[in-house]
């Protein structure tokens, strides 16, 4: 997707992907990653998800990457903490206690700038990207996180019924993107209540990925 597509979504507040409560599969399964409080979780393409507040409340540190500065201003307003803001070349860093967010293109974020991470939480990130970008995204996240374990959420539905995003990702695609570097476990699937965008029957699927 072009950057302008996402900037427009945020400027027009067309953010149907934003959930008004923490993700149910995150709440149920994130513990399967066996992280200890204080460990650092990377949330790529994070938007202003309430899942960040949930992770912080569980005692994890959070680092995110997001294109839209509007999203990140709103994230810090929602969290009720004033960010310290600094420029880092092509990125802008918003930080506060236990949280760092890099605003800009995730492909401009390198491992040194990101710093060590213990896990990745991918909700509505892989599925937000068109097929032509996904392999590069998967390789980039693997590289900058040193193949840290991932908690991944995908949507599976009939792509003929609706264009993405979110794009449909079936089991074979998850294996194609991740099997070379990660052991893959399919943890659970849930029907999307009311259908995706209120019209297409879909399942949300939770995955645990661990370095092979
Ligand atoms: C579908 S939204 C999901 C946001 C969040 N994960 C959530 O669950 O609410 C995808 C987000 O990715 C951001 N994004 C898209 N392309 C990006 C890129 N190349 N680098 C960083 N962020 C990007 C968009 O601005 C948007 O906020």
Pairing of strands 203-211, 150-156: antiparallel
Q: How far is CA 184 from the centre of its chain?
A: 18
* Measured distance between the N- and C-terminal CA atoms of the chain, rounded to whole angstroms: 30
Is the residue at 202 inside a domain?
yes
Is the residue at 199 inside a domain?
yes
The ipTM, to two decimals, is 0.99
Tokens found for residue 153: 């959420």
Is the residue at 89 inside a domain?
no
Q: Is 71 in the pocket of ligand 1 (CB under 6 A)?
A: yes
Q: Which atom of ligand 1 is nearest to the CA of 1?
A: 16
Strand-pair partners of 186? 207
Is the residue at 157 inside a domain?
yes
* Span 68-125, pLDDT tens digits: 999 999 999 999 999 999 999 999 999 999 999 999 999 999 999 999 999 999 999 9
* Span 142-183, pLDDT tens digits: 999 999 999 999 999 999 999 999 999 999 999 999 999 999
Say whether pTM exceeds 0.90.
yes
To the question of whether residue 66 is assigned a binding role by annotation, the answer is yes
Q: Is 156 in the pocket of ligand 1 (CB under 6 A)?
A: no
Is the residue at 140 inside a domain?
yes
Q: Is 72 in the pocket of ligand 1 (CB under 6 A)?
A: no
Q: Is 23 in the pocket of ligand 1 (CB under 6 A)?
A: no
CATH code at position 165: 3.40.50.150
Is the residue at 144 inside a domain?
yes
Is the residue at 12 inside a domain?
no
Q: Cβ(40)–Cβ(117) under 8 Å?
A: yes
> Which residue, 117, 116, 151, is CA-closest to 32?
151
Report how many domains make up the chain.
1
Residue 58: partners with Cβ closer than 8 Å, 6 or more residues away: 30, 37
Is the residue at 205 inside a domain?
yes
To the question of whether residue 2 is assigned a binding role by annotation, the answer is no
To the question of whether residue 45 is assigned a binding role by annotation, the answer is yes
Q: Does 1 score more than 90 pLDDT?
A: no
Q: Which domain, by its residues, includes 154?
A: 23-62+109-211
């Amino acid at each position: 997707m072009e950057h302008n597509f996402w900037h427009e979504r945020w400027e027009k507040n067309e953010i149907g992907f934003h959930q008004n409560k923490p993700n149910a599969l995150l709440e149920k399964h994130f513990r399967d990653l066996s992280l200890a409080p204080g460990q650092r979780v990377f949330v790529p393409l994070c938007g202003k998800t309430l899942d960040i507040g949930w992770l912080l409340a569980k005692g994890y540190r959070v680092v995110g990457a997001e294109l839209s500065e509007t999203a990140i201003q709103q994230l810090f307003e929602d969290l009720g903490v004033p960010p310290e803001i600094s420029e880092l070349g092509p990125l802008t860093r918003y930080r506060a206690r236990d949280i760092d967010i890099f605003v800009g293109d995730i492909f401009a974020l390198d491992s040194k700038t990101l710093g060590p991470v213990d896990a990745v939480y991918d909700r509505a990130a892989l599925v937000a990207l068109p097929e032509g970008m996904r392999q590069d995204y998967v390789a980039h996240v693997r590289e900058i996180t040193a193949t840290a374990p991932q908690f991944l959420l995908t949507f599976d539905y009939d792509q003929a019924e609706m264009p993405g995003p979110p794009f449909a990702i079936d089991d074979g695609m998850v294996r194609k993107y991740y099997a070379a570097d990660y052991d893959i476990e399919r943890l659970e699937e849930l029907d999307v209540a009311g259908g995706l965008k209120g019209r297409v029957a879909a399942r949300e699927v939770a995955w645990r990925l661990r370095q092979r």
